[in-house]
Structure 1
Amino acid sequence: MVSMFCGVLLGLLLTQAALDRELGFNKLRFGPWIGNPRLGGIFADPYSKAMLARSGELPLGGGEGLTLVAERDSAGNALSAHCTYTIAGDVPPARYWTLAVSYRDGRLIDNPSQRFGFTSSEIVRGADGKINLVASSLPRAGNWIPLAGAEPLRLTLRLYDAPLANESGGVQPIWPVITRLQCP
């Protein structure tokens, strides 16, 4: 009886651990950015499907685009609302993209300006066509995303109608670099 109870408990704990894996088992990593091109398609693994059913999230389908998340900067440090970051460089080709900042649980950061991110149609690009955003608790000129709170942060980059959305390997495009400028 005790061994059966221990077996059931171990099975439940392992299932919980598998469902807590962010983005499932088919993750791709591009610097600090992590995505799963199969998450919204018919080839998603069973644990990813269970994770989505539990969270209620509706991922982008394979032909619609790709969602990438970053919870660390390019140097590997966890993102914090107390720090100042630049998100700069190239964005992979896509018909449209959004970049938003939130807490790790998906809640938007409450801030007076009600600015949570940028889209490809509203961002001011440099002369070279690259993006350069600043995420900080202090106001900045230009492409500024306000940060607030004490919880760990997440950046979410969604690429809509992106040619790489169905690819699982091959040539890796260039992704925006997340650089921590200062941290008290």
Structure 2
Amino acid sequence: MTLPYAKYLRAGSAMLGGLALGLLATFLSLNSGYGFNPLRAGPWTAWPSVGGAEIDPYARAVVARSGEAPLGRDQGLAFIASDDSDGAPLDGACEYRIVDPLPTARFWTLSLATPAGALIDNPTGRYGFSSVDVLRREGGAFEIAVARNARAGNWLSPGEARRFVVMLRLYDTPLDTDAHPDPQSFPKIVKQKCD
């Protein structure tokens, strides 16, 4: 003989299980990037639809929660690299070289940030370089050193951060976001050594 309240307990358990599953799915979707259709080129990833009218609901929720104002599709693209060119996660205890080339763009910026997108506090107060102020070699090529200790030339410090990302913003770029960009046209992030 079953208890008269057994069916209500089963229904309540199913509702609580569904609620927990829904909350878990929401948490995971809000913490796993900007939704669907990322554009990848080597270690670099962008979400072209985030700044446009065709933004998906998950990306819209991530942008609303973070409060950021993403670039519109006609303004440019923001690429993020959380790994080096060999696929290893970027580590503040390691030194890296970021070497050109760059995709065609009227203007670009390259900076370091926390995985959440905040600027990294560092003793120099320099958070990035742009196509205007980066020092170039003869022929226009450049190289940026990422290390805790000062380097001659273009140098960015990850400060005391253990994890960081490299952000590359391309403004007014003719890059075709419907095609797969050539990874060879993007900067390489080369690990040098680790402490």
User: For 1:21 and 1:84, how far apart are their aligned partners in 2?
Assistant: 27
| Pair member with larger Rg | 2
**Shift of residue 171 of structure 1?**
4.9
> Is the 1:91–1:130 Cα contact (8 Å) retained in structure 2?
no
**Shift of residue 126 of structure 1?**
2.0
- Encode CA deviations 1:10-40: one digit per residue, 9 max, x unaligned: 0111122112121321101111101011110
Specify which of 26, 39, 43 is matched with residue 15 of structure 1.
Answer: 26
> Is the 2:93–2:162 Cα contact (8 Å) retained in structure 1?
no
Report the equivalent of 1:99.
110
Specify which of 167, 171, 179 is matched with residue 169 of structure 1.
Answer: 179
> Is the 1:37–1:168 Cα contact (8 Å) retained in structure 2?
no
TM-score (norm: length of structure 1) = 0.94
User: For 1:116 and 1:125, how far apart are their aligned partners in 2?
Assistant: 18
Report the equivalent of 2:168.
157
Long gaps (5+) in structure 2: 1-11
Aligned pair count reads 183
Specify which of 144, 147, 160 is matched with residue 155 of structure 2.
Answer: 144
Q: What is the RMSD of the two structures over their aligned residues, measured on CA atoms?
A: 1.3
- Encode CA deviations 1:53-95: one digit per residue, 9 max, x unaligned: 1111110001000000001100111111111100002111111
**Shift of residue 147 of structure 1?**
2.2
Q: Percent identity?
A: 42
Specify which of 113, 126, 132 is matched with residue 143 of structure 2.
Answer: 132
Matched residue SS, 2:116: coil
- Tell me if 1:65 matches 2:76: yes
More helix by share: 2
> Is the 2:51–2:72 Cα contact (8 Å) retained in structure 1?
yes
TM-score (norm: length of structure 2) = 0.89
Q: 1:171 to 1:150 in 2, by over 3 A?
A: closer
User: For 2:181 and 2:73, how far apart are their aligned partners in 1?
Assistant: 18
User: For 1:138 and 1:112, how far apart are their aligned partners in 2?
Assistant: 10
Long gaps (5+) in structure 1: none
